[in-house]
Amino acid sequence: MDWEVKDIKDMIISSAKTYWKNCQEDFCIQEDEFPEVMIFGSTNRVVWRFDTGFRIDHSYCTKRFLDDNK
């Protein structure tokens, strides 16, 4: 992987981590199909897509997580 791609992925991962302010233990990279999609989190999931950016997957998130990310 060239350094430009690694830098872009690192920025996406860093941005994704901000969703897990109060439940950092739940943060992980669940799926990495960069550049199309990356899925983050275990119980609480956030999806990043190249064409749409970040989206919280409400059906997989706890109330606390959703409240923290209003």
pLDDT in tens, 31-50: 999 999 999 999 999 999 99
pTM of the model as a whole:
0.91
Is 22 exposed, middle or buried, given 0-12, 13-18 or 19+ CB atoms closer than 10 A? exposed
DSSP state of 64: H
Report the pLDDT averaged over residues 23-27: 93
Q: 49: which 2 tokens?
A: 């897509």
Query: Contact at 8 Å (CB) between 61 and 44?
Result: yes
Q: In the prediction, which pLDDT does 2 show?
A: 86
Predicted confidence at residue 1, as pLDDT, reads: 64
Confidence of residue 16 (pLDDT cuts 50, 70, 90): very high
